[in-house]
């Protein structure tokens, strides 16, 4: 699907790009030569077969073109292939198939502050990071004062950055990035770090770059507000394929429609679901410190807090949380102990440990039972995606509705 | 405007690589500059450390191998004999060990930014070469102290010896560095390998000690480098051109093997490092 905004020659042309990973090289991230040799000599056939079998297509058949001056957002759920696509565009990893034609100087920001060295001063790190990002020495020298001013860490610019707070390092890193002057700027989820105010300043600067000087920008983010304010066009990825390409607001709506998350729900007494005996007023997904969460990974322990209004006296009540994974398969069900209650508010908290859920979308249904008989089940009370919380950049999916971390004894 | 084509990499060209490295020379400069700056900042003694290390080694070797073991040294006073060897050896061993770990140590850059990956190992060798130059000052002092007159032809030979050392380091280093990306246990083998290698290189003894077996030693490029460096700098023996040539060829073979293996595996570095 090509959707050039003008009749101009595209500045980037992506043609049928696919990328295959060998799962083995990802899963057992660090092989040892010893194990490799042992495996190969003891079970040569199995070793070769295993190599062939464990393949995983992170991208398949991606095609689209970008015209000069366009700001294109790339969005999609975890594992949709956004980062892989950016890595191929940045030439960090080659595609397995396909071809990309780029006409112009590219700078990619997959991270800010790449190569920062704690022993070097702020000024020295500007030189180093600038060079890593592809700036020429003269260019860095010319922009030095402007970078220092933008970062707001001018007082400490000749201090080794090991003495900086993490906020200061991030500001310095962003400031260098904001002074890049390429034809095409590729930006990954880098805005997720740093304080909100400075993030805004950077977004503003990037917006300026695109709108005023006609630069082309490719922007990946989970922050839909940022994508919408910066990009006119959005490419939506799912499972390594392009499933949408069009106006930013339409694509974001499409994405959110498929991926709506509910980390909390609240009703007033009239509209609350349930029955005349007991109603569900509120459901929250909280951290163990009882703070609201907006992101859950496989490594996040969390709790589900339910508030019920009970209208009956002397009633035996029990509650369920039921986790459904995609395709409405019930992953598990947890039951509270049954107890006698009188009229009033009931708070029930269920703790979910880390390393139980898989990297999936889950929806939680809440059910109640009274006097040992089921009362009702309320579907889709909470809906959320679970992100990979294990090894960074793990590209594989484990099968199963859950992914518990269990104890193994090997002998 | 130049157009860039990204597609599955199947071929590589040496000339293309040289061109690209030249294009990225700014990054090569800054990576070298970083390594030097950080090292000299971290150690309190700074530059002195670069001299201190070979000098102390020389003193210890002189006491044990020179005085007590009475290692023959082709009639050259043992301190200057062993220092000439150590100078080249430490350049070789230090940068070989740095280069071998270089890809893994710079994984944060490799996984985030594109640049010719060869820049990283090369920058490590250049860094070690700066140390080599600093440590050479001590040798110059020793030459004056012992009243030696270097061969004038040294002006031609020394650069050749440095080039041979470069090629030998890069050859073995590129191989180790790429293998190390995939198999992390290799890093434990490398120091052991380098240590063994020192004993089959005429650092503390002259190659002549081996008599007719010294020809086998010539397969090790550092043999020719160190023997020729002694002959040239101390002017005690005629220059054995055949040995220089043998070392050059051996180094080129090492380099070709390391380079080809590096290029073959390079595209996956970012995926598995």
The CA distance from A383 to A362, in Å, is: 6
A89-108 residues touching B, CB cutoff 8 A: 89-104, 106, 108
How many other CB atoms are there within 10 angstroms of residue B85's CB atom?
Answer: 27
Of the candidates A83, A126, A128, A127, the one whose C-alpha atom is nearest the C-alpha of residue A108 is A83
What pLDDT is stored for residue A200 in this prediction? 72
Q: How far apart are CA A394 and CA A397, in angstroms?
A: 8
* Least confident window among A4-13, B12-21, B220-229: A4-13
The answer to whether residue A27 scores a pLDDT higher than 70 is no
Q: Is the ipTM of this complex over 0.90?
A: no
Q: Is a pLDDT exceeding 70 seen at residue B44?
A: no
- The C-alpha atoms of residue B232 and residue B252 are separated, in whole angstroms, by 22
Beta strands A71-76; A216-220: pairing state: parallel
- Would you say residue B8 lies in a domain? no
B34: nearest CB among A108, A128, A393? A128
| CA A290 – CA A305 distance, rounded (Å) | 9
Q: Does A30 touch chain B (CB under 8 A)?
A: yes
SS in 3 state form for chain B? CCEEEECCCCCCCHHHHHHHHHHCHHHHHHHHHHHHHHHHHHCCCCHHHHHHHHHHHHHHHHHHHHHHCCCCCCCCCHHHHHHHHHHHHHHHHHHHHHHHHHHHHCHHHHCCCCCCCCHHHHHHHHHHHHHHHHHHHHHHHHHHHCCCCCCCCHHHHHHHHHHHHHHHHHHHHHHHHHHHHHECCHHHHHHHHHHHHHHCCCCCCCHHHHHHHHHHHCCCHHHHHHHHHHHHHHCCCCCCHHHHHHHHHHHHHHHHHHHHHHHHHHCCHHHHC
B1 in a structural domain:
no
Q: Look at chain B and report how many structural domains it folds into.
A: 1
Q: Using alpha carbons only, how large is chain B's radius of gyration in Å?
A: 20
pLDDT value at residue A2: 42
| Separation of alpha carbons A137 and A127, rounded Å | 7
Which residue in A257, A279, A289 sits closest to A383, CA to CA? A257
The whole-number pLDDT of residue A25 equals 46
List the end-to-end C-alpha distance of chain B, in Å, as a whole number.
33
Average pLDDT, chain A: 84
CB atoms within 10 A of CB B261: 17
Q: Please report, to the nearest 10 degrees, the dihedral formed by the alpha carbons of residues B154, B158, B160, B165 taken in order.
A: 150
For A200-234, the pLDDT digits (tens) are: 777 777 777 767 777 898 988 877 777 888 888 99
CA-wise closest residue to A399 among A142, A112, A56, A40: A56
Q: Does A394 touch chain B (CB under 8 A)?
A: no
In the structure, what pLDDT confidence band is assigned to residue A3 with cuts at 50, 70 and 90?
very low
Residue B4 domain-assigned?
A: no
Q: Is B5 on the interface with A (CB under 8 A)?
A: yes
The confidence score (pLDDT) of residue A398 equals 78
Flag if A104 and B1 touch (Cβ within 8 Å): yes
The verdict on B22 touching A (C-beta cutoff 8 Å) is no
Instruction: Look up residue A30 and give its two tokens.
Output: 């660090």
Q: Tell me the whole-structure pTM to 2 decimals.
A: 0.76
Confidence (pLDDT) at B213: 79
B2 and chain A in contact, CB less than 8 A = yes
Q: How far apart are CA A401 and CA A77, in angstroms?
A: 18
Greatest C-alpha distance within chain A: 81
Please write the tens of the pLDDT for every residue from A247-278. 999 999 898 887 777 888 888 888 888 888 89
CB atoms within 10 A of CB A38: 12
Question: pLDDT tens digit string along A301-331?
Answer: 999 999 999 998 888 999 999 999 877 789 9
Domain membership of residue B82 (yes or no) is yes
Distance, in angstroms, between B106 CA and closest chain A CA? 8
Q: Give the per-residue pLDDT at A393.
A: 41
Residues of chain B contacting A103 with CB distance shorter than 8 Å:
1-4
Strand order of the sheet with strand A71-76?
A106-109, A184-187, A216-220, A71-76, A233-238, A241-247
Please determine, for residue A395, whether its predicted confidence score (pLDDT) is greater than 60: no
Residue A392 has pLDDT above 50, yes or no: no
A261 in Cβ contact with A268 (< 8 Å):
no
pLDDT of residue A26: 43
- With an 8 Å Cβ cutoff, is A392 touching chain B? no
Domain assignment of residue B3, yes or no: no
d(Cα B62, Cα B68) in Å, to the nearest integer?
9
CB within 8 Å: B109 and A26:
no
For an interface test with A, the pick among B34, B105, B123, B188 (most A C-beta atoms closer than 10 Å) comes out as: B34
In a domain, B70, yes or no: yes
- Residues B144-159 have a mean pLDDT of 88
Point out the residue among A34, A115, A127 whose CB comes nearest to the CB of B109.
Answer: A115
Which A residues 165-204 touch B at CB under 8 Å? 183
Q: What pLDDT score does A52 carry? A: 60
Q: How confident is the model at residue A86, as a pLDDT?
A: 92
Tell the residue number behind the tokens 């095409």, with chain if given.
Answer: A184
Q: What is the 8-class DSSP label of residue A75?
A: E
CA B226, B231, B237, B239 dihedral sign is positive
Place of tokens 């040995």: B243
Residue A265 backbone dihedrals phi, psi, to 5 degrees: -145, 150
Summarize pLDDT for B83-142 with one digit per residue, the tens: 999 999 999 999 999 999 999 999 889 988 999 999 999 999 999 999 999 999 999 999
Instruction: Quote the domain boundaries for residue B124.
Output: 14-272
How far is Cα B112 from Cα B108, in angstroms, rounded to an integer? 7
- Would you state the pLDDT for residue A49? 65
Mean pLDDT, rounded, for A347-364: 91
pLDDT above 70: percentage of residues in chain B = 98
- Phi/psi for B74 (5° steps) reads 55, 35
pLDDT tens figures, A89-99: 999 999 999 99
Rounded distance between C-alpha atoms, residue B64 and residue B75, angstroms: 17
Residue environment code for A201-210, b if the CB has 16+ CB neighbours within 10 A, otherwise e: bbbeebeebb
pLDDT score of A207: 75
Residue of B4, B38, B193 to mutate when probing chain A, most A C-beta within 10 A: B4
Q: How high is the pLDDT of residue A201?
A: 76
Say if the Cβ atoms of B183 and A33 lie within 8 Å. yes
Helix residue ranges, H only, A242-307: 248-258
Please tell me which residue, B52 or A25, carries the higher pLDDT value. B52
Torsion angle, CA of B117/B119/B124/B130, rounded to 10 degrees?
Answer: 180
**Which residue of chain A has the CA closest to B43?**
A119
Residue B85 is assigned to a structural domain of this protein: yes
Q: What are phi and psi of A367, to 5 degrees?
A: -130, 155
Which of A143, A370, A385 is CA-nearest to residue A263?
A385
Beta-bridge partner residues of A368:
A319, A376
Q: What are the tens digits of pLDDT across the range A136-184? A: 899 999 999 999 998 888 999 999 999 998 778 888 988 888 888 888 9
Compute the average pLDDT of residues A8-20. 90
Task: Decide: A239 and A341 in contact? Cβ < 8 Å.
Answer: no
Cα A105 to chain center, whole Å? 27
B225-249 confidence digits (pLDDT tens):
999 999 998 887 888 899 999 999 9
Which DSSP symbol is given to A155?
G
Q: How confident is the model at residue A193 (pLDDT cuts 50, 70, 90)?
A: low
> By percentage, how much of chain A surpasses pLDDT 70?
89
A33-42 and A44-53 helices cross at what angle (nearest 10)? 110
């Amino acid at each position: 699907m090509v959707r050039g905004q003008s009749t101009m020659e595209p500045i980037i042309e992506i043609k049928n790009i696919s990328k295959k990973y060998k799962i083995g090289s990802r899963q057992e991230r660090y092989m040892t030569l010893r194990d490799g040799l042992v495996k190969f000599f003891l079970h040569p056939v199995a070793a070769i077969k295993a190599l062939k079998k464990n393949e995983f297509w992170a991208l398949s058949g991606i095609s689209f073109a970008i015209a000069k001056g366009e700001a294109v957002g790339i969005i999609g759920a975890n594992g949709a292939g956004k980062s892989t696509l950016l890595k191929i565009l940045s030439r960090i990893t080659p595609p397995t198939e396909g071809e990309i034609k780029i006409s112009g100087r590219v700078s990619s920001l997959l991270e800010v502050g790449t190569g920062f060295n704690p022993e070097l001063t702020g000024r020295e790190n500007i030189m180093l990071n600038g060079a890593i990002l592809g700036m020429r020495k003269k260019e860095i020298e010319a922009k030095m004062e402007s970078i220092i001013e933008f970062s707001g860490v001018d007082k400490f610019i000749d201090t080794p950055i090991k003495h900086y707070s993490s906020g200061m390092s991030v500001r310095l890193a962003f400031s260098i990035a904001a002074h890049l002057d390429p034809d095409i700027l590729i930006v990954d989820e880098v805005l997720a770090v740093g304080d909100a105010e400075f993030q805004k300043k950077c977004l503003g600067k990037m917006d300026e770059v695109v709108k005023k000087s006609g630069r082309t920008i490719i922007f990946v983010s989970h922050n839909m507000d940022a994508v919408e304010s910066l990009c006119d066009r959005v490419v939506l990825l799912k499972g390594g394929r392009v499933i949408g390409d069009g106006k930013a607001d339409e694509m974001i709506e499409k994405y959110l429609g498929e991926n709506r998350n509910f980390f909390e729900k609240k009703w007033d007494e009239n509209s609350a679901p349930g029955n005349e005996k007991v109603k569900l007023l509120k459901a929250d997904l909280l951290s163990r410190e009882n703070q609201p969460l907006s992101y859950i990974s496989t490594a996040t322990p969390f709790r589900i807090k339910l508030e019920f209004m009970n209208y009956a006296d002397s009633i035996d009540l029990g509650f369920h949380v039921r986790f459904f994974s995609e395709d409405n398969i019930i992953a598990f069900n947890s039951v509270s102990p049954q107890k006698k209650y009188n009229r009033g508010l009931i708070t029930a908290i269920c703790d979910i440990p880390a390393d139980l859920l898989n990297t999936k979308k889950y929806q939680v249904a809440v059910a109640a039972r009274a006097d040992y008989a089921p009362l009702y089940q309320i579907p889709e009370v909470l809906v959320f995606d679970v992100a990979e919380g294990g090894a960074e950049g793990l590209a594989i999916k484990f099968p199963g509705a859950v992914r518990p971390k269990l104890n193994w004894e090997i002998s | 405007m130049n157009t860039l084509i990204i597609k599955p990499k199947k071929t590589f060209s040496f000339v293309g690589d040289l061109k690209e490295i030249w294009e990225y020379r700014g990054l090569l400069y800054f990576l070298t500059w970083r390594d030097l700056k950080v090292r000299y900042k971290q150690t309190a003694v700074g530059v002195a450390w670069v001299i201190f290390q070979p000098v102390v080694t020389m003193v210890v070797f002189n006491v044990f191998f020179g005085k007590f073991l009475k290692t023959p040294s082709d009639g050259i006073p043992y301190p200057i004999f062993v220092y000439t060897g150590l100078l080249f050896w430490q350049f070789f061993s230090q940068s070989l060990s740095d280069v071998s770990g270089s890809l893994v140590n710079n994984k944060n850059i490799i996984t985030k930014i594109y640049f010719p990956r060869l820049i990283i190992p090369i920058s490590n060798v250049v860094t070690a070469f700066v140390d080599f130059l600093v440590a050479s000052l001590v040798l110059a002092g020793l030459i004056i102290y012992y009243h030696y007159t270097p061969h004038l032809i040294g002006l031609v030979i020394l650069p050749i010896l440095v080039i041979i050392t470069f090629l030998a380091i890069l050859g073995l280093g590129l191989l180790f560095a790429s293998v190390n990306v995939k198999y992390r246990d290799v890093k434990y083998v490398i120091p052991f390998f380098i240590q063994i290698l020192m004993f089959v290189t005429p650092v503390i003894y002259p190659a002549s000690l081996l008599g007719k077996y010294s020809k086998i030693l010539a397969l090790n490029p550092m043999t020719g480098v160190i023997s020729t460096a002694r002959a040239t700098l101390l002017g005690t023996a005629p220059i054995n051109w055949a040995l220089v040539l043998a070392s050059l060829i051996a180094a080129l073979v090492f380099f070709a093997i390391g380079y080809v293996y590096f290029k073959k595996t390079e595209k996956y570095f970012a995926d598995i490092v």
